[in-house]
Structure 1
């Protein structure tokens, strides 16, 4: 007797599972954390704490990865890296093509927390090392996972390997759009690709501009406005025109014994609880200078010896007096500490009676930059609550990608870091 299949029931299930699988696979090429017990993930060039995670190809540069496991104990975590294109899609190269060493390695450096209410194990890794060495330039994703289970990573982090062969010259100016001249910062830059012997710049070269290292505030350039020999000019009136935003808000929790900057009250019992001062919108017309770290965070503990191990965790309570513009408006609190992700963990709740958005985040002691993001439906507004000014101090990263004719991968052949105030290359 033939078996009847209810397609009206199984087809939606099939497509849901397919979508969920693809979405999960895509997050493995982003800055993601997949387990709630993994906290305080950071990756930077070891020469400068909090710096953009980029190293030179075949150089002495190393990256430093660190994270905490709140479950404590000791676990065996392994890691690997995967080469990607400029859009963070897998290059489909075999590991032997982009690694001149082993395919994976163990994280051997871990230590237990001391004198903290929240017990945790701190893991740390520096690479390239004897076991993991990239041999191609480009975008890479670092994946950390339980030993023997690479399909279930606990975290992923993006980083860059550059082979500096393209020259970059850039300036930051007010927007060409008169309406945005007081709020936006316009980047004009040239790229000298003469050493690369580029035959078709429109097909072989792409440039990416990031504001403060953020992929969510970036612009990919696929066509230069002018080409003069090997000099590509990116000076189009409409491109690379970024809202300057405002200086980040911040709080200082280097000590839990007394209040720091923007800290209202601290309670210590079976857990640490910190109430921050109330925030209000900063969308005033005039710019006001306030020192910040361009969205960064730094783990610090003035009452200990090694903040990696003796900095404690605390429940941090944020509050923002803000009237939503529409019934569907949502507000998120973001910074480098949560990779600027707009998700359930960063979404604030709204108390209509008090006219206040509030949130509770579990963070490690230190100094944190943060800001608020407004979302109306699918529209994301980075400046509605924070304001935007041309005078705001921002870092801009310019990356140059090159895919020669017949090549199977994109190289990263140029990098420059500019500052909107200093206006010079910092690294």
Structure 2
């Protein structure tokens, strides 16, 4: 084979084998309050829906220009590399359509346009196959504005999930372990060690998900996962929360109110809880819900306020930083939610522009290598109530994509030894 032919062959092969995992893109500053949910929930959270159910995407554009936005839908493999399926193979209808449903804010200090998209719709009529998907939102210049992941499953297996205290005695007070039993109902597993993939998600946070555990035991068509360390999560602590549905008066978690160009809500100063006893406090595990008092339609009548967070904590060293995050910013680590230390008060501060509602949040420590320690501020307690989802994927012999054949869900409120 000549050198020129070998070079041409290599150039042809590079696009075929150089796929990498695709991450979500978070929006620019003028896009706020991205609410992405399935048909079975009120608050925003990671959508995992049955084939045939609908999803809803909502967001606000704060530039007051009534811009046009368009959406595209992509299908992905289990590991979030692009699948080879053409659109006609996973979709009935068309995407790359303008989001036509939008309204302007009413009686608010902060003007904004509220956009809403529901799928299926008259143009994107249905999704045909299960698996991983990503919806991408573009502007008039075909520039990607933001993207969000979601999953569609079919009923091919039942997934039993049990939450246990860690089997490792070293972490019995601070970790929770997830046991899984998968029973195929409509298929027969072929080579499950290679073809069955699992994803375990804690509190809808894909950043901390555990992926691709292999079954330890197989009994017929039943797969059993009972790991000591590999399927365990740091338990964390209950999320902190605040509510400002009445933007003109102090609500839950809010110490004081001030009106400038917009309302400013100052939260009570939080403290480090890592060395304090665990206290149960019901929460919504990092999610948020838009709500406003005396508003017929909070989508366009809820206002925006600057929320001032403060944390009394020692100054971080060795390049470590503190961030405040939750589903309200898709668990992102960005300059906007990075906290600044004030030497005079001995506390960390930051402020975020958020729409009225109920929000749960937590403080996390990030080192110079971007490793996240979610328990450094809040602590890790096995009693903490966390939500767990287990997704099971299967690729049949000769298939070109990974099916999502089952989902199991459990709460650690029922944790056992």
**Same fold per superposition (TM over 0.5):** yes
Structure 1, unaligned stretches of length 5 or more? 1-21
Counting only pairs closer than 5 Å after superposition, residues 343-362 of structure 1 correspond to structure 2 as: 343-362=334-353
Find the counterpart in structure 2 of residue 376 from structure 1. Answer: 367
Take 2:315 and 2:177, find their aligned partners in 1: how far apart are those partners? Answer: 30
Alignment of 1:295-314 (within 5 A): 295-314=286-305
In the alignment, does 2:87 pair up with 1:95?
yes
Cα deviation digits, residues 250-297 of structure 1 (max 9, x gap): 111111121001111111132211111111011135210112110011
Answer whether contact 1:104 1:131 (CA < 8 A) is retained.
no
Aligned residue runs from structure 1 range 109-124, under 5 A: 109-124=101-116
**Alpha-carbon distance in 2 for matches of 1:396, 1:130:** 34
Distance 2:177 2:127 in 1: 34
Provide the secondary structure at the position in 1 that maps to 2:93: coil
The 1-side partners of 2:171 and 2:147 are apart by 37
Give 1:216 deviation, angstroms. Answer: 1.5
Cα drift, residue 34 of structure 1: 3.2
Cα pair 1:79 1:106 within 8 Å, conserved: yes
- Indicate if the aligned counterparts of 2:163 and 2:414 stay in contact, CA closer than 8 A: no
Question: TM (normalized to structure 2)?
Answer: 0.91
Q: Equivalent of 1:236, from 206, 218, 227?
A: 227
Structure 2 counterpart of 1:182, from 169, 173, 184 = 173
Name whichever of 35-44 and 317-326 sits farther off. 317-326
Matched residue, 1:414? 406
After TM superposition, give the deviation of residue 26 of structure 1 in Å: 7.6
Provide the C-alpha distance between the structure 1 equivalents of 2:348 and 2:316, rounded to a whole number of angstroms.
Answer: 13
2:264 partner SS: strand
Which of residues 106, 120, 141 is equivalent to 2:134?
141
Q: How does 1:5-404 map to 2 (within 5 A)?
A: 29-50=22-43, 51-57=45-51, 59=52, 61-132=53-124, 133-147=126-140, 149-150=141-142, 152-193=143-184, 195-378=186-369, 379-404=371-396
Q: Secondary structure at the match of 1:384?
A: helix
Change (3 A) 1:341 1:179: same
Q: How far is the alpha carbon of 1:248 from its aligned partner?
A: 0.3
TM-score by length of 1: 0.89
Give the gaps of 5 or more residues in structure 2. Answer: 1-17
CA deviation after TM superposition for structure 1 residue 340, in Å: 0.7
Q: How far off is 1:380 after superposition?
A: 1.8
User: Against the structure 1 CA distance between its residues 26 and 253, is the aligned structure 2 distance closer, same or farther, given a 3 Å change threshold?
Assistant: farther
Distance 1:363 1:32 in 2: 19
What is the alpha-carbon distance in structure 2 between the residues aligned to residue 49 and residue 85 of structure 1?
28
Q: Residue 418 and residue 143 in structure 1: after superposition, are their counterparts in 2 closer, same or farther (change >3 A)? A: same
Instruction: Check 1:118–1:194 CA distance in 2 against 1; reply closer, same or farther (3 A cut).
Output: closer
Offset at residue 222 of structure 1 (A)? 3.4
Q: Distance in 2 between matches of 1:406 and 1:355?
A: 61
- Deviation string 1:205-262 (CA, Å, 9 cap, x unpaired) is 0011000111122101331111111111111212211111100001111111210011
